[in-house]
Amino acid sequence: MSTLSEGFSTAFGLMAGFDARLLGIVGLSLRVSLTAVFFGSLIGLPLGASVAVGRFAGRAPVTVLLNAFIGLPAVVVGLLVYLLLSRAGPLGEFGLLFTPAAMVVAQTVLITPLIAAFTRQIVADAWREYREQLKSLGASAGRAAFTLLVDTRFSLVTVVLAAFGRAIAEVGAVMIVGGNIDGVTRVMTTTIALETSKGDLPLALALGIILVGIVIIVNAAAHATRQLAQRRYG
Amino acid sequence: MADHANGMFPLALREVGFSAAGLSIVRKLHLTLDAERRTVMLGPNGAGKSVTLRLMHGLLKATAGEITWGGQRIHPAAQAMVFQRPVLLRRSARANIEYALDLAGVAQAERTARAAAALDRVGLGHVAQRPARVLSGGEQQRVALARAWALAPRILFLDEPTTSLDPAASREVERIIAEIAAGGTKIVMITHHLGQARRLADDIVFMHDGCITEHTPADQFFRQPQSPEGDAFLKGELP
């Protein structure tokens, strides 16, 4: 109990004091995960919509794989990206390992299937309702997929948020490919893991509280936006 | 479009059939529709009216027989369809129509004016900027009609366009359909509402159990149907 209360007071102390180190860690976490969400969405949204609308051989296995990869273990993704980016790996020449860029790559790989799978589901449901109308109007499959993405945008916000939540909360992938280097690749989750193992529980807890707080704030903002938009557009 | 559209008729179905998953839905359909009259399709639920309408519009591909337009196996673009439940996009009423015009290849500069004019014609000019999905059911169906109308189709298919509407909204939709027809658009409509069929139809296509049992001028159909199924339907003896 005392650890808990100590954690809260440490958290507030750090936040109130705008602790530079803390800000650096939080900032890097946000930067890495938001960038990963950006690229994940860039790939996952069109991919999911194409699988939902398109009629091609192998659509069923692709759907199964996407759904299965929602739960991809972060450490496994970290390991794969590590092998890709390590000096001997196929992408080793870029020297990305143990940089924030490597962490972005790992988190993008982690969340793209999640975004694609949920997008596929949402767009497929909408497609059932819109299909005849859009075909009647003469929309091509590509145009239909794009139209559906635009029309389900409020539901897709939730998908993108879930992806952000997964990215910012995972520790396995960023730990492996980032290396948890102080001031360079140290993010909130890796710091929490480190401080916990060092025994500095109040600091670890404080970071945990801030992490959860950020996730709640982002979700609240998105929820409010969605409510507003839905009232407006139906 | 006009030159192309003139050659569209007659729309002819020959030996047309459609089956799905080994089940025959409609079979041996013979039908010739001219460019002028307002055709209403009647028949009990499950008779195959909706499937036939979709075959004509091209949403479904016939698994037997052939459908020709003006004697040719083409699929003319100058057609539109209005469904039982209007499917509108999450954008303004006017943007919904502009979207359809865009797909039809209408130049951007022209779209806004044409969409606004179409909304005016269905009496919804004042909600042009409102999100389409928050309009009432009747208004949404009128936007769907305006969208179809804006495309200036040579033929308009309607699948029970008033089924989910209250009487006042239904009458308004009927008025709009009559006006579209008066402008020279061929109407092919399914309805379950006999009063509506009497008001709108020039000729009746009656379907039962996947077959067309008769194609008769409306006044004759309501006076003396040519098929026993049509007769039983009017007497309320068919489900």
pLDDT at A18: 79
Does A200 fall in a domain?
Answer: no
Residue A47 lies in domain: 23-187
Element (H, E) at A174: helix A172-178
Q: Distance from A59 to chain B by nearest Cα, in Å?
A: 20
Does A222 fall in a domain?
Answer: no
Please judge whether A233 and B103 are an interchain contact, meaning their C-beta atoms are less than 8 angstroms apart.
no
pLDDT at residue A71 is higher than 80 = yes
Q: Which of B89, B104, B132 sits opposite A138 (nearest CB)?
A: B104
Listed in sequence order, the residues at least 6 apart from B193 whose beta carbon sits closer than 8 Å to its beta carbon are B162, B163, B170
Calculate the alpha carbon distances from B45 to A133, B6, B210, B222 in Å: 22, 34, 10, 19
A150 contacts on B by Cβ (under 8 Å) = 89-90
Are A32 and A104 in contact, with CB atoms under 8 Å apart?
yes
Are B233 and B44 in contact, with CB atoms under 8 Å apart?
yes
Q: How many CB atoms lie within 10 A of CB A19?
A: 14
Please judge whether A232 and B132 are an interchain contact, meaning their C-beta atoms are less than 8 angstroms apart.
no
pLDDT at B83: 97
A129 contacts on B by Cβ (under 8 Å) = 87
pLDDT at residue B4 is higher than 80 = no
Q: Distance from A149 to chain B by nearest Cα, in Å?
A: 11
Q: Which residues of A touch B (CB under 8 A)?
A: 129-130, 132-133, 135-139, 143, 147, 150-151, 153-154, 232-234
**Sign of the alpha-carbon dihedral angle for A101, A107, A108, A109:** positive
Does A59 fall in a domain?
Answer: yes
| Number of cross-chain residue pairs from A and B with Cβ atoms under 8 Å apart | 46
The CA distance from A108 to B175, in Å, is 55
Please judge whether A136 and B81 are an interchain contact, meaning their C-beta atoms are less than 8 angstroms apart.
yes
In percent, the amount of chain A with pLDDT more than 70 equals 100
Chain-wide mean pLDDT for chain B?
Answer: 94
Minimal Cα distance from A144: which residue of B? B103
Are B105 and B98 in contact, with CB atoms under 8 Å apart?
no
pLDDT at residue A157 is higher than 70 = yes
Are B31 and B12 in contact, with CB atoms under 8 Å apart?
yes
Query: What is the average pLDDT across B162-168?
Result: 92
Chain-wide mean pLDDT for chain A?
Answer: 92
pLDDT at residue B218 is higher than 90 = yes
- Domain of A51, CATH number, reads 1.10.3720.10
Query: What is the average pLDDT across A7-33?
Result: 87
Say how many residues make up chain A.
234
pLDDT at B6: 62
Are B87 and B147 in contact, with CB atoms under 8 Å apart?
no
Q: Is B29 on the interface with A (CB under 8 A)?
A: no
A133 contacts on B by Cβ (under 8 Å) = 83, 87
Does A42 fall in a domain?
Answer: yes
pLDDT at residue A30 is higher than 80 = yes
Per the structure, the count of domains in chain A is 1
3-state DSSP helix/strand/coil percent for chain A, to nearest 5? 80, 0, 20
Residues facing residue B14 across a β-bridge: B66
Please judge whether A137 and B100 are an interchain contact, meaning their C-beta atoms are less than 8 angstroms apart.
yes
Question: What confidence tens digit (pLDDT) does each residue in B92-131 have?
Answer: 999 999 999 999 999 999 999 999 999 999 999 999 999 9
A234 contacts on B by Cβ (under 8 Å) = 90, 131-134
Does A225 fall in a domain?
Answer: no
Minimal Cα distance from B97: which residue of A? A137
Please judge whether A130 and B77 are an interchain contact, meaning their C-beta atoms are less than 8 angstroms apart.
no
A232 contacts on B by Cβ (under 8 Å) = 131, 134
Domain definitions of chain B by residue range: 88-152
Does A2 fall in a domain?
Answer: no
Please judge whether B89 and A151 are an interchain contact, meaning their C-beta atoms are less than 8 angstroms apart.
yes
Q: Can you give the pTM of this predicted structure?
A: 0.90
Are A130 and A148 in contact, with CB atoms under 8 Å apart?
yes
Query: What is the average pLDDT across A29-44?
Result: 97
Does A39 fall in a domain?
Answer: yes
Minimal Cα distance from A147: which residue of B? B89
Q: Which two tokens stand for residue A178?
A: 């980032």
pLDDT at residue A21 is higher than 70 = yes
Question: What confidence tens digit (pLDDT) does each residue in B54-97 have?
Answer: 999 999 999 999 999 999 998 888 999 999 999 999 999 999 99
Question: What confidence tens digit (pLDDT) does each residue in A178-191 have?
Answer: 999 999 999 999 99
pLDDT at residue B13 is higher than 70 = yes
Please judge whether A233 and B90 are an interchain contact, meaning their C-beta atoms are less than 8 angstroms apart.
yes
pLDDT at A1: 56
Does A43 fall in a domain?
Answer: yes
A137 contacts on B by Cβ (under 8 Å) = 80, 99-100, 103-104
pLDDT at residue B215 is higher than 60 = yes
**Long-range contact list for A223-228, CB < 8 A, 24+ apart?**
A225/A157, A226/A154, A226/A157, A226/A158
pLDDT at A22: 86
Query: What is the average pLDDT across B34-48?
Result: 95
Calculate the alpha carbon distances from A148 to A77, A114, A155, B173, B184 in Å: 30, 18, 11, 28, 33
Q: Distance from B104 to chain A by nearest Cα, in Å?
A: 7
Please judge whether B57 and A139 are an interchain contact, meaning their C-beta atoms are less than 8 angstroms apart.
no
Please judge whether B77 and A147 are an interchain contact, meaning their C-beta atoms are less than 8 angstroms apart.
no
Give chain A's count of helices (H) and strands (E).
10, 0
